[in-house]
Structure 1
Amino acid sequence: MDDLVDDPWRVTHGFTPEVQRCSDKLFCAASDERRGDILSEWLAQHQPCIFGKMAARKGGVEFCFLTDDDLLGSDLPVQRKILSCRRAWRETALRGERSAFVIVALSERITVALPNLAAKRLALKLASLYLCAQVQPDEVKQDALFLEAAGFRRRWRVGVNYFSSHGDGRWWKDHRIPGGMAFSMNSVGHMALCQRAIKKYDDSDPRGLLWALQVAMQLIDDTTPGISGRNTRLFELSEVAATLRCPFSPPPRNLQTKNFCVYEGQYHTDVTVPSEYFDPCIERPASLGLRTDLDLTYLHNDAPDNPDYREIGAGVDTEN
């Protein structure tokens, strides 16, 4: 925290109205419960991920708010607070009530800080305290989540993703959040199964993994262009041929010509602390190139050589 410096670009450009309003409310809120309500309302309206919006609208997000008083203290109390909230999340997830967890470093100082090496060090420290392991830049880190219902117990690997106020107005605005910096964990596989196992939807209901695949593909293909263009894009089958049979029968009309195995993006969607988010540039550096190998098969390809389908999508049955 001591090494953070103000962002001169932010001083002159400010924040978008929706981020500024929500940040002001968060800083004035007197309790974590109220902060959770405020941030849930913002996420339900402005989070680009439809799964995040759904979780926020239904009270499906467990929050952990770290204030300046927490962040200026020693590491151990911060870690204890994070892990206490994590236990609460996993308990609600076990009952099928919540699939998402958001850790927020709520700080005006962080909010207006320059996204530089000092901010990156702070993000890495928070991620390391949460995961109880050293986190390095550009690594893919995951947590685990469980669901217990109807005589079974299932486990999923859950991605850990960085969000920050620094992204507001920059090329990576899809990862903006009011009030400081945050880590978001949300299991689409857990959410999809909860719809069926806990809420008693029958087998004819579409809210399963294929429903999640359709929603994900539509989200990827409908992203609003930012200052450096679209952050994600579905390939046309004429560009990149699919390596598997189409999982939809029949495919939705707006997805009939789209690749359902891989897609293109300006960043790797699974990386926990991306180094490129800590470059103060506003537009995306051309030197970064594009990712053309972003995966969708974890939602539909149950082949033995695709463990991500079982571990991230469908879940793994377990007794422990």
Structure 2
Amino acid sequence: MSTPNRTSLLALDTAGIYFRAFHAIPDKITDSDGRPMNAVRGFCDMAAEFLREYSPEGLIAARDENWRPNWRVSLVPEYKAARVAEGGGEDAPEALHHQVPIIWELLKALGVCTAHIPDGEADDVLAALPFPGASTGDTVVVTGDRDLLQIAREDRKVLYIGAGMRKRVLYGPAEVAERVGFPEGTDPRRYADYAVLVGDPSDGLPGISGIGAKSAATLVATYGDVEDIIAAAGDDSIKMPPRQRENLLGSADYVRAAKRIVALDEPPQTPECDGARSGALGAADSAALEELIARTGQERAIRNLENRLAELR
């Protein structure tokens, strides 16, 4: 099967997709017992659409081995602290909580590789692509996490769905630079330095007081990475607003720790792949799919996704 958009590997930020599906699809979509199945339905529909659009030779669904890795918490204890539930897990609506294991069961039944890194997040998996055994060539990473813009390359594009499916945008290096306001040709990895300065309160990363998106882009474009920016702030011969200089120097330790959290350098270990071998489309488990259809009541959505995958095998 050949299409103009065909890519070698499609990689899904799985949690990012099912979270958006859950919030986009009404919870009146239920199983026979009346329990919501909107995340299951939406995930299937969205995944099928990505497969239609890119007709990949391989598929990987990245997952969090640990949504709040110990090594990141040791750097900044506030990292994702506001999202910790009473029991210590990730705070999520109960209506979504029971659907998540079903989505992973479904991916296994469909023969899809689910990849993880010990004590790592899905972002770490996606930053390592393509890893040994995966399809080589062009890769498309699907995510709603802006931090993943830093991994964009000419052969590894990032399909950003954070503004919704209808407003999804495919980012390569040029598009990342244009979005942020970097000069043409800026390495997308500089997005991590920009993100540290701007901050992400939802992840417990406040950023630097007085530095917004425009000033952060200017600092990165002018000086480079956060180490160079801190060095510039400490150099009295360099003209810089006094308050900005003071805030940067006063937050230097935080900036260095936050950069280690946000930067998605390729990890030292290769992600582990459950189910199908790395990136390959394995055979579907018909009996497991029938059971999932009966349990969830989502025959149309599951069959549609199953058929899309069958077309690519």
Answer yes or no: same fold by TM over 0.5.
no
Q: Tell me the TM-score normalized by structure 2.
A: 0.29
Higher strand share: 1
Rg (Cα) greater in structure? 2
Higher relative contact order (CA 8 A, sep 6+): 2
